[in-house]
Amino acid sequence: NAGVTQTPKFQVLKTGQSMTLQCAQDMNHNSMYWYRQDPGMGLRLIYYSASEGTTDKGEVPNGYNVSRLNKREFSLRLESAAPSQTSVYFCASWRGAYEKLFFGSGTQLSVL
């Protein structure tokens, strides 16, 4: 049982380049989330998807777009990367209320 699979694990981009972070879960969860983690900032919610076909902005959505391709997959796209987007990105999925979040292993992204 793979849980939440997140790719890539590491990525280096130049300012202005674009890329997509992929996330897939095999637990049949309805809700999926994208967080970023910067030193001293905890986890900040970028976007979430409460169910297939819906997406909503979180605390820090600027500079990002998301796609809930199907129930399994939730991708995060940086259209024009900026150094301020250097961070560790986590995808998570969740069955719903009164359950715990399941996290992917994270993506270390550096934008030069």
Partner 1 sequence: EDKVVQSPLSLVVHEGDTVTLNCSYEVTNFRSLLWYKQEKKAPTFLFMLTSSGIEKKSGRLSSILDKKELFSILNITATQTGDSAIYLCASYNNNDMRFGAGTRLTVKP
Instruction: For 62-94, give the DSSP string.
Output: TTEEEEE-SSSBEEEEESS--GGG-EEEEEEEE
Q: Nearer Cβ to partner 1, position 17 or 103?
A: 103
Residue choice 19, 20, 30, 44 for contact with partner 1 (CB under 8 A): 44
- Quote the CA–CA distance of 62 and 10 in Å, as a whole number: 22
State yes or no: residue 43 binds partner 1 (CB under 8 A): yes
Footprint on residues 46-85 left by partner 1 (CB under 8 A): 48, 50, 56, 58-59
Shortest reach from residue 88's CB to partner 1, in Å: 9
Shortest reach from residue 17's CB to partner 1, in Å: 25
User: In the chain, helix, strand, coil percent, each to 5?
Assistant: 5, 50, 45
- Quote the CA–CA distance of 12 and 16 in Å, as a whole number: 12
Interface residues toward partner 1, by CB under 8 A: 33, 35, 40-45, 48, 50, 56, 58-59, 90, 92, 94, 97-101, 103-106
